[in-house]
Amino acid sequence: MNLARLMLEEMIELNLLPPEEPPDNPDLNLAKWKQMQKEKYLQAFVDLLDKNNYVLHKRKLHRDFVNRERKSSTALVNGVAIPHVRSRYIRNPVVAFARSETGIDFDAMDSGLSHLFFIIATPAKVGDLHLKIYRQIAAMFRFEDTYNEFMWLNNPGEVIRTIRQFD
């Protein structure tokens, strides 16, 4: 599968805003606050996917991502997360990329922060394509230097060229 063909430079964000600090409030439900922060980033990812009018309904696609994350976190280990969803609110299969230098708590399996986000959305009618894309992205990180390479890329074109190396 040619993963780079599913990506557009407009759908690459190399400087995600850092996460907010929790308010200093003893009555704060920290778990709920963390979930709201995660949903805020999921909204930013939907906005990335919408840069080329692929999204048919932003609010409903966001809800699909939130529901997917509630089933099980899409954050893997070693700073990588692959939020993915199959939805009827996306026009074409698409992959976006986002990077956070500070890292985001995305409920990773190793309890670490996620820095690299590959966001996958496919139309419901294309079956399990989102899982094939997921497996291809996960396979890229079997190589030791892949994480560092993505952390040091300077522009969206470099991201796409790097992904082409794995196609």
Dump pLDDT digits (tens) for 84-128: 999 999 999 999 999 999 999 999 999 999 999 999 999 999 888
Q: Is residue 99 part of a domain?
A: yes
Task: Report the C-alpha gap between 50 and 80 in whole angstroms.
Answer: 22
Task: Report the C-alpha gap between 121 and 138 in whole angstroms.
Answer: 16
Q: Is residue 16 part of a domain?
A: no
Q: What are phi and psi of 13, to 5 degrees?
A: -120, 115
Task: Report the C-alpha gap between 51 and 98 in whole angstroms.
Answer: 13
Q: Is residue 18 part of a domain?
A: no
Q: How far is CA 106 from CA 39, 75, 94, 144, 149, in A?
A: 10, 6, 21, 22, 21
pLDDT band at 53 (very low <50, low <70, confident <90, very high): confident
Q: What is the pLDDT of residue 23?
A: 78
Does pLDDT of 145 surpass 90?
yes
Span 53-67, average pLDDT: 96
Task: Report the C-alpha gap between 117 and 75 in whole angstroms.
Answer: 8
Q: Which domain holds residue 76?
A: 3-11+29-164
Mean pLDDT estimate for the chain: 93
The number of domains in the chain is 1
Q: Is residue 49 part of a domain?
A: yes
Span 28-49, average pLDDT: 91
Dmax over CA atoms of the chain, in Å, equals 50
Q: What is the CATH number of the domain that holds 135?
A: 3.40.930.10
Q: What is the pLDDT of residue 24?
A: 79
Q: What is the pLDDT of residue 52?
A: 84
Q: Is residue 17 part of a domain?
A: no
